[in-house]
Amino acid sequence: MKDKIPTIKEIAEKLKVSVSTVSRALHDHPRIGMKTKEAVKKLAKELNFEPNPKAIFFKQKKSFVIGVVVPKVNEDFFSRAITGMETMAMDKGYTILFGQSHDSFEKEKKVLEAMKKQRVDGLIISLSKETNKYDHLNELNKYDIPIVYFDRVPKMKNVNKVYCNLSKATEDLIDWLHKKGKRRIALINGPDEIIASKERLEGYIEGISKKKIKVDMQLVEQTDLTEAGTYAAMGKLFTAKKQPDAVITFNDYVHFDAAQWAFSHGIKISEDVIFASFANILLMKYAAFPPAVSIDQFPNQQGYEAMRALLEILDQPEDNEQTKKSFFDKEMPGVMVVH
């Protein structure tokens, strides 16, 4: 037989006071005397009393749960971002409900539907590689569920977002490679649906143009972020008449596949070709062929800032029209790390 869960009513009966007095004492209401507060809290501790979360939700109209949706939890970038979110959330008394889209638009919609049913107070999301429509996200506005996007943000205005300036970061990579004497710099970009792919391409074209080098779009290939997609991109680049002497990959995971393809085809990494990448994941120090340089996008800080922004939105009074009209836009610099 399970132990009976203590209630506010039980505390009130034992102390011969009203239920409202106990409730106010537990919340340090100024109208309740110190002696009564101490007696209530002492008995509550002895009985192992814990507030009923459903009752709190009903009274405060909050679940104190934040929904977080990422493409893949096991990727180093997103796991570090989640750590940053947890740090901020726990400090403010919130818990996190996680979901993975597995880079699928359909799965992303299902996860968001589940989050809505769980009545999360707010949502932080990094979009899947397939997401190019936002109706399922705009739907959440009807339920007053604020959203903060991070890393993979949508092509929409008037949204809350935390992201890295990848266009500038790509220019920095090209400048670094150019100083190393590289002139045929290739780019293996990500899916078109990801706004970060567009930013990388913009930075690539701008960076190449600044070096007075003709932009050769035959040096630009695309991957769907799978091993097969990256292998296909590398095959096209290195069967061309003029092969690249440097390759910028969409991220470090794409780099690992690209480097594996190069190694298996007898291409000498760091001699025949030099690689540059994005993310600077922690696994880099264990890699046999790390990129020569990688852009650190500070995922932990991105996660922390995204959660901080969301909690500030949730703390605002419901009738604060100014908050509803303003949006959080945090651009973070990407920093090159040479390996």
C-alpha dist (Å) from residue 15 to 21, 44, 50, 264: 10, 11, 17, 77
Domain assignment present for 58: no
User: Per-residue pLDDT tens for 234-250?
Assistant: 999 999 989 999 999 99
The boundaries of the domain holding residue 73 are: 63-163+299-332
Q: How much is the pLDDT for 1?
A: 40
User: Considering only 42-51, 56-65, 135-144, which range has the smallest mean pLDDT?
Assistant: 56-65
User: Per-residue pLDDT tens for 287-324?
Assistant: 889 999 999 999 999 999 999 999 999 988 766 555 55
Domain assignment present for 287: yes
Q: How much is the pLDDT for 325?
A: 63
Same domain, 182 and 218: yes
Q: Do β-strands 122-125 and 65-70 pair in parallel, antiparallel, or remain unpaired?
A: parallel
Identify the CATH number of the domain in which residue 116 sits.
3.40.50.2300
Same domain, 265 and 192: yes
Structural domains counted in the chain? 3
Angstrom distance (rounded) from CA 167 to CA 146: 28
Same domain, 254 and 182: yes
User: Per-residue pLDDT tens for 251-272?
Assistant: 999 999 999 999 999 999 999 9
User: Per-residue pLDDT tens for 92-117?
Assistant: 889 999 999 999 999 999 999 999 98
| Paired residues of 335 in beta bridges | 296
Give the pTM: 0.79
Domain assignment present for 57: no
Same domain, 138 and 283: no
Domain assignment present for 338: no
> Torsion angle of alpha carbons 308, 310, 315, 319, nearest 10°?
150
